Structure 1
Amino acid sequence: MAEQYSIGGFFIDLSRNQITQNNQSQIIAPKALAVLTYLAENQGKVVSHDALLENVWQGTVVSPNTLQRSIAQLRKALGDDGKVQVYIKTHAKQGYSLECDVRWHDNIESPPLNAAQENIVDTPTMSETNALAMSEDNTQSKAQHHSHDKDQSKSATTTDNAKPSKLTVMPLFTLFGIIILAYIGYQYLMPQPPSKLSFGELRLLTTTDNKEFASIYSPDGQYVVFHRYSAVFCRNNIWAKNTKTQQETQLTKDFDSYGSHSFSTDGNQLVFIQTGGCSKPEPDNQCYKLMSLDFHKALQAPQSAKVLVECKNSEIKFPKWLNNDDIALFQKLSNRWKLTRYSVSANKTTDIYEIDEGNLIYYDYSPEDELLAVISSHKDGQYYIEILKPDGRLISSNRIEYPKEIAKFKRIYPNFSPLKEQLIFSTGRQLFTLSFDGQVTNISLPLDQSMGQPQFHPDGKRMLVIKGHYDSDIVSLPLSQLTSSPLVSSQPNTAQIENAQIVQSSAQTQSLTSSDYSVIERSTYGEDSAKLQPNGELIAYQSDRSGEEQLWITDGKSSQQLTDFPMDTYIYGMDWAADGQSLLVNANDVLIQVSLDSTQTIFPLEYPVFQLFQWDSKNNRAVVLIRIQEVLTFAELNLTHLETRTINDKDINWALKSENGQLVYADKMGRFWRPGPVEDQRIEALDGQEAEKQRFVINDNVIYGINKQNQLWSYGLNEDKFDILADLPSNVDYLTDIDNSQLLMSIRVSARKDVAELTIKQ
């Protein structure tokens, strides 16, 4: 079989695992290329799923999802549209076909022209154009000379061409020099394309059953420091791994809620944020502490961190040690972020940078260049990159030019790279560089899973990433399985609530196991957010089984993919229309109405939607969290007139309206609220019933939720009645929907986050 062939404007080289167009090459996974090659060998024919799996994955048992991910990767590489399907066409329940003509190239030793040159064979390069111009000048001069000779003597029969005189040759050399100088000047003045990164081997550095994340190198590159999260304690510890001996060491003594961390330039100290645990915390605010840890002592034995700053009325994050005893960090006051500098020796904080109309999103620090790169959103709604000195002097400010591969409202979190004046960031399965002047360039890298938080080694020859995999299923719990045992009613006091939680081990509380519910949707990837169709038998849910997060529906027997969103799409909320014929989905911060025939209507809202909670299709209103100048705002949207009504400025985790129109929401402190005659009233009966990731559902004016003890509870809004219904298995993540017969939940099958290292090709 030939190892090189062309389809359309693309040149495929199997020996290099490359697809090339217009001199731009992409590295593609070998199995994906094998799928493309088998389709090419059967060009124009429908190839079944089984035939592809049998021929590409010979002797290996894989799921159809593996094939779907390969098709998705090929379509991206070919610039194909899942709907139009120019190259690879999907035949429902049959298979796939390659619709383009195939040209095979047998001579590997002498490869054909690249795809661009095949399409335009006679297109010369810039230097070839100059040479061609000179050749044409000489040819024209010779033709004129011979014409003159013929006119002078038609009977001349000599074959010797007339030689040009010195007067003819000199202007030609002059013209040649002018063209060369002009070309050199053009090349010098034109902006040069940025240098590109090329990656080689990917290897895992952590492989435990826990989640590892927030990885950084020590300044000498000898250690990788990361967080290790325990699902048992719902907290994390900080660990270090020696890159030479592979030995792992626990650095912090106790599990806690630790944030991102940074090394002092000498490598002796670690600094990080701890959430909670403050003395006399403010009732309406979480507490944040800036902590430091002696790294070398912690390598000998786990240490307790030292408190540098305690913040009870403001939020802090992203600490980074500067080239002195100062620590840069983000601080939020009144929903506005600013970049500040804390002096350890003086115990004093000063402002570095903030913007009046807009907000700061992220920043990174380069010790080598002593520069800060800040990502911000301005009053025009666009994202910018600002380059600063640590004292706050602004070097440059440029709008970030998003390419088509990145969604309009996508936030990015770039870090400095070894390339001059360029940073690097991930959007999930894609890596990009960002220049100081705001230009974004895609790095060709075939990723089958999302990777985040890229951080370079001090030598610039390798890079840390977080590689994750999440597998969850959708299950149905019949309400007949629940035996309601009212434990608390009529606005209980604190003692009653505490007693209610103690009863969980008694006979009054039913313990449910996996045998009590049935699995509705299962794959080796994440299924979530299942919603029951009003007046129908369908269930809508989101899944990334095809390689990207998409909207799916099932009738319990078979599933159908409704959407074909692009790579690195994230879905944050969806809800059915009252007639059950369409859904409203929040994809990449944009609200889209998707009908059952897959047609879509996009609502051109002014602001990005962070979270969609609920859709009232009869009045065409949606309860949402939106970003106004990067400040999260709890609001109700009128989608008919594209108007926004702010509900309040609290930090909201989840919100729904009941059947009688009562709004219920949970704030970031886990407290539940509903509107009162003058101001919102806290539902005190639900104090202590919040979960780590608070979601709740409402049916027949009754709220259902799960608390930290994995207890399923209910609260009647009309009767003010609170019940503990059952103990749920520990792997239940969310309640997603309920009707009069069943409760839908998302259960966690596996959840991994690993620290991995990518080497850079030299």
Structure 2
Amino acid sequence: MWQQSFVDDNAINRAISELRKQLAHPIQKAPLLKTHYRKGYSLTVIPERISQVNDADTSSQVLNEPPVLSSKNEGAVEATSTQSFKKSSLKKPIFYSLLAVVCLCFFAWLIWLSVSAPSKDKVKQITANKVASTWNIGSEVHPELSSDKQFLAYTNVEPENDVMHAFVKRLSDQREVEITYPGFQVSILSWQLNQHSVLLQATNLKLQKCEMVLVDLSQFPVIGEATSIKECDLRYTGYAQVDESGEHIYYTEYKNEHEGSGLYKFDLELKKEFIVIPPPGVMYGVIMPRLSQSGDKIAYILSQKGKPFSVFSYNFETHETKRLFKAKKSVISFAFDWLPNGKGIIVFEGSELSTIMFDEKNIVKHTLTVTPKITPYYITVHSDNSLFYSEKMTQAYSLIKATDPFGDNPEYEALYKSDKDEYNIAEIINKEGTAHVFVSERSGSSQLWLSQNGLTKQLSFFNYDDGSSAFVLGGLRASPNKQRMIFMKNKGFSLYDVNAQKFYPFEEFNKHKIVSYIWSKNNDSIIYVKRLGSKNILAEFNLVTRDTRVIEGIKANKLISDSKGNGYVTNDNQLIRLSDRQSWELPKNAKKSVAYGVSKDYFYYSDSISRVARLNLHDQTIQDIHVDFRPIGFMVSENNEILFTGSKYKDMQIVQMSWDE
């Protein structure tokens, strides 16, 4: 009926048009099929079944003879207001034909409802053959194969100081060379399409410089000329690729953090930028653009905060955008690549490998579950059943205490270190005095731990029956008197009473999309920012009366508080103190920051890469430092001591995986 496996509006319209022709009545000219807008189709007549006198005699004729009106009802019958034309009693085969049409129309309606989703197959299980492909010390990530599959490029990160190096390996003889760029550390971005030139991101974190550098490897193992082709923002520039002619580079970049990242094309000769896919208007956006081997399409991931990611393709000739894949969960993955023939893509979500083949009309999806279980973060496809990947969770998180970080002799101390991740920390006061509560995975899942007087013990024993893994706990905020704490468990909120040593659900917050929250100075309420449509609402929830008060006149993106409970908000341009609404202009780099802290004298901010800065709230001066870890988040004490959640890369290898279906 449809003549294609993927059904869109045009296919349904064509099919119904053909049905109208086939069901045209020889006498009555009014149509038999009626269209109900955005619902489906129905018949305009009421079929009547008649008595069959000679069923046996007529059964051999009905397949070859055209339908005729029964003499029993020949002539006019009074029409009702709901009928398009006069009733006719049809023979039994015509009744069943019309019944079949109704079924087909209902089927068309169902397909119309799911028209934008690729077809789904049953998930099959495969056993993967795996072999390590890199052997350097450190964390080896982001594998990229050249278009002809002869060379493998990847990034190596030193295990202690997180310095990045770029390597290229020839697969035929495993010959390997390191690519350097004087004065910078380098990481792999991609291969130039159908060329033996590799694109690097060169960064100098201390100087806050970032460049995209194209290196000629056509005479491998001799490393050719390295050409800086474009400056980049090391905070907000993502994946990039140069086209085959070397005339354009495609890349993703945040122009405004809250609008998300868009896909851009940069003319390397004219030094002019063009928008290919605009930012989605909310955080995250377009990431990982990859050109097809023919260069006529580009595929990319679209990720929006709190929503499952999707993979789209964009056709440069027709300007058509197609969604090829939609994830099941809202966990981001960069693990996708084109198949060698350019007719489809491979996408990983967790251990599920999906192959999506598509052309102008059809999208066909085939999904496999890989065992033993793997969780790729980056992949590069070698053949239809072979690829290279680097694992997810490339970084280890730990708690670090910084004493006098902006002074002449800063000291950094690792706190509560184990073989598992430790992150988020809050200070409380119980019967024995001051203590730290933090999140650790040392017992096998994310739990709250208490450290006091040199002893560390597990505070929570949460079950995660929904299959949740890392980073399901977070957002620890202690009240100013250190007697209570609010935190997030999965997507729900909970309260912890320090003296009672009990956990309580905080159901009121689960009804809203909470962006940020702090305790009020009186310890009895929570001030929060919730997202409502496209706006942020600043409000206060009283834990005693259970009442909510909207705070008017302040635009808020994030909330922070000092050790005394004084609350502040940040927005696109300002830091505002809630008690008296005094405001300070945010420094330029602070507007792009993702982690904040505050004390009575300073406003702290970080790029979560390597820089931490503070604004003196009295004289507006700024101090800026470099740290040898990624400062993901931090808490500032009254004496300006900082407790960081920091991250460093793990020791890991790139693995080649193959499979048989």
TM-score bin (small chain)? 0.5 to 0.7
Aligned to 1:354: 278
Match of 2:505 among 600, 610, 617: 600
Unpaired runs of 5+ residues, structure 2, are 1-54, 65-91, 542-547, 558-569, 573-590
Counterparts of 1:377 and 1:473 in 2: how far apart (Å)?
A: 27
1:645 and 2:556 correspond: yes
Offset of 1:270 from its aligned partner? 1.0
Counterparts of 2:122 and 2:161 in 1: how far apart (Å)?
A: 45
Match of 2:378 among 439, 447, 453: 453
Match of 2:523 among 609, 612, 618: 618
What do the CA deviations read for 1:166-215 (whole angstroms, capped 9, x no partner)? 8779989999x989x99999999968424757541233222433111111
Partner-residue secondary structure (3-state), 1:296: coil
Match of 1:310 among 227, 231, 237: 231
1:261 corresponds to which letter in structure 2? L
Q: 1:388 to 1:628 in 2, by over 3 A?
A: farther
Q: 1:545 to 1:226 in 2, by over 3 A?
A: same
Aligned to 1:274: 202
2:428 corresponds to which letter in structure 1? Q
Aligned to 1:288: 210
2:211 corresponds to which letter in structure 1? K
Where in structure 2 are the equivalents of 1:304-343 lying within 5 Å? 305-311=226-232, 316-325=237-246, 326-335=248-257, 336=259, 337-343=261-267
Offset of 1:568 from its aligned partner? 4.5
Unpaired runs of 5+ residues, structure 1, are 1-163, 489-496, 505-509, 706-733, 737-745
Partner-residue secondary structure (3-state), 1:645: coil
Partner-residue secondary structure (3-state), 2:218: helix
Counterparts of 2:425 and 2:149 in 1: how far apart (Å)?
A: 45
1:224 and 2:152 correspond: yes
Aligned to 2:387: 462
Match of 1:540 among 437, 452, 476: 437
Aligned to 2:313: 387
What do the CA deviations read for 1:559-600 (whole angstroms, capped 9, x no partner)? 254434542453554233457675433566x56224455543
Counterparts of 2:156 and 2:121 in 1: how far apart (Å)?
A: 36
Aligned to 1:116: none
Counterparts of 1:435 and 1:349 in 2: how far apart (Å)?
A: 32
Offset of 1:309 from its aligned partner? 1.8
Offset of 1:469 from its aligned partner? 6.3
Q: 1:673 to 1:401 in 2, by over 3 A?
A: same
Q: 1:656 to 1:467 in 2, by over 3 A?
A: closer
Given that 1:473 and 1:527 are in contact with CA atoms closer than 8 Å, whether structure 2 keeps it comes out as yes
Q: 1:261 to 1:356 in 2, by over 3 A?
A: closer
1:239 and 2:167 correspond: yes
Q: 1:420 to 1:606 in 2, by over 3 A?
A: farther
What do the CA deviations read for 1:639-665 (whole angstroms, capped 9, x no partner)? 65587724133122532344xx56632
Q: 1:411 to 1:274 in 2, by over 3 A?
A: same
Counterparts of 2:489 and 2:353 in 1: how far apart (Å)?
A: 20
**How many percent of aligned residue pairs carry the same amino acid?**
12
Given that 1:655 and 1:663 are in contact with CA atoms closer than 8 Å, whether structure 2 keeps it comes out as no
Offset of 1:261 from its aligned partner? 1.3
Where in structure 2 are the equivalents of 1:58-97 lying within 5 Å? none
1:372 and 2:302 correspond: no
Counterparts of 1:361 and 1:563 in 2: how far apart (Å)?
A: 35
Given that 1:252 and 1:303 are in contact with CA atoms closer than 8 Å, whether structure 2 keeps it comes out as no
Counterparts of 1:641 and 1:434 in 2: how far apart (Å)?
A: 50
Aligned to 1:688: 625
Q: 1:254 to 1:615 in 2, by over 3 A?
A: farther
Offset of 1:618 from its aligned partner? 1.9
2:237 corresponds to which letter in structure 1? I
Offset of 1:239 from its aligned partner? 0.5
Q: 1:251 to 1:401 in 2, by over 3 A?
A: closer
Counterparts of 1:197 and 1:474 in 2: how far apart (Å)?
A: 41
Counterparts of 1:627 and 1:434 in 2: how far apart (Å)?
A: 35
TM score, norm. by length of structure 2: 0.60
1:698 and 2:636 correspond: yes
Aligned to 1:138: none
Counterparts of 2:273 and 2:626 in 1: how far apart (Å)?
A: 37
Counterparts of 2:356 and 2:514 in 1: how far apart (Å)?
A: 22
TM score, norm. by length of structure 1: 0.53
Counterparts of 1:664 and 1:226 in 2: how far apart (Å)?
A: 38
Match of 1:753 among 619, 635, 652: 652
Moved more, 413-422 or 336-345: 413-422
Offset of 1:466 from its aligned partner? 2.7
Offset of 1:238 from its aligned partner? 0.6
Given that 2:192 and 2:242 are in contact with CA atoms closer than 8 Å, whether structure 1 keeps it comes out as yes
Q: 1:208 to 1:530 in 2, by over 3 A?
A: farther
Counterparts of 1:412 and 1:545 in 2: how far apart (Å)?
A: 25
Partner-residue secondary structure (3-state), 1:340: strand
Counterparts of 2:122 and 2:202 in 1: how far apart (Å)?
A: 38
Q: 1:445 to 1:340 in 2, by over 3 A?
A: same
Offset of 1:760 from its aligned partner? 3.0
Given that 2:147 and 2:293 are in contact with CA atoms closer than 8 Å, whether structure 1 keeps it comes out as no
Aligned to 2:74: none
Counterparts of 2:104 and 2:647 in 1: how far apart (Å)?
A: 63
1:342 corresponds to which letter in structure 2? F
Offset of 1:534 from its aligned partner? 2.5
Partner-residue secondary structure (3-state), 1:563: coil
Q: 1:690 to 1:252 in 2, by over 3 A?
A: closer
Q: 1:331 to 1:263 in 2, by over 3 A?
A: same
Q: How many residues align?
A: 506
Given that 1:198 and 1:761 are in contact with CA atoms closer than 8 Å, whether structure 2 keeps it comes out as no
Between Structure 1 and Structure 2, the one with more helix by share is 1
Aligned to 1:567: 468
Given that 2:539 and 2:550 are in contact with CA atoms closer than 8 Å, whether structure 1 keeps it comes out as yes
Q: 1:583 to 1:752 in 2, by over 3 A?
A: farther
Offset of 1:222 from its aligned partner? 2.5
Q: 1:553 to 1:696 in 2, by over 3 A?
A: closer
RMSD between aligned residues: 5.3
Partner-residue secondary structure (3-state), 1:309: strand
Q: 1:412 to 1:561 in 2, by over 3 A?
A: same
1:666 corresponds to which letter in structure 2? Y
Where in structure 2 are the equivalents of 1:627-646 lying within 5 Å? 638=540, 640=548, 645-646=556-557
